[in-house]
Chains A and B, each alone.
Chain A
Amino acid sequence: EAQVTQNPRYLITVTGKKLTVTCSQNMNHEYMSWYRQDPGLGLRQIYYSMNVEVTDKGDVPEGYKVSRKEKRNFPLILESPSPNQTSLYFCASSLGGLFTDTQYFGPGTRLTVL
Chain B
Amino acid sequence: AQSVAQPEDQVNVAEGNPLTVKCTYSVSGNPYLFWYVQYPNRGLQFLLKYITGDNLVKGSYGFEAEFNKSQTSFHLKKPSALVSDSALYFCAVSPDRGSTLGRLYFGRGTQLTVWP
Binding site for B on A (CB under 8 A): 31, 33, 35, 40-45, 48-50, 56, 58-59, 90, 92, 97-99, 102-108
B94 and A105: CB pair below 8 A? no
Main SS at interface, chain B: strand
Q: Which of B14-22, B67-75, B78-86, B103-111 lies at the interface with chain A?
A: B103-111
- The CA of A59 and the CA of B109, in the complex, are separated in Å by 17
Among B44, B101, B102, contact of A105 (Cβ-Cβ < 8 Å): B44
Cross-chain contact B43 with A108 (CB below 8 angstroms): yes
A99–B90 alpha-carbon span in the complex (Å): 17
Residues on B with beta carbons closer than 8 Å to the beta carbon of A90: 43-44
Q: Are B43 and A42 in touch, CB under 8 angstroms? A: no
A104 to B104, CA, bound (A): 14
Q: Which residues of B contact A44 (CB under 8 A)?
A: 106
CB of B102 within 8 A of CB of A102, answer no
Contact present for B102 and A98 (CB under 8 Å): yes
Is there contact, CB below 8 Å, between A98 and B94? yes
16 contacts between A and B (CB under 8 A): A33-B102, A33-B104, A41-B108, A42-B6, A43-B92, A48-B102, A48-B103, A90-B43, A90-B44, A97-B101, A97-B102, A98-B32, A98-B104, A105-B45, A106-B43, A107-B43
- B51: Cβ under 8 A from any A Cβ: yes
Neighbouring A residues of B109 by C-beta, 8 Å: 42-43
* Pairwise interchain contact A99-B51, C-beta atoms closer than 8 A: yes
Are B46 and A103 neighbours in the complex by a CB distance under 8 Å? yes
Residues on B with C-beta less than 8 A from A103 are: 34, 36, 46
Contact between chains at A42 and B101 (CB < 8 Å): no
Say yes or no: A31 contacts B44, CB within 8 Å.
no
- Contact among B34, B45, B105, B107 for A59, CB-based, below 8 A: B105
Instruction: Determine how close the nearest CB of chain B comes to the CB of A29; give it in whole angstroms.
Output: 13
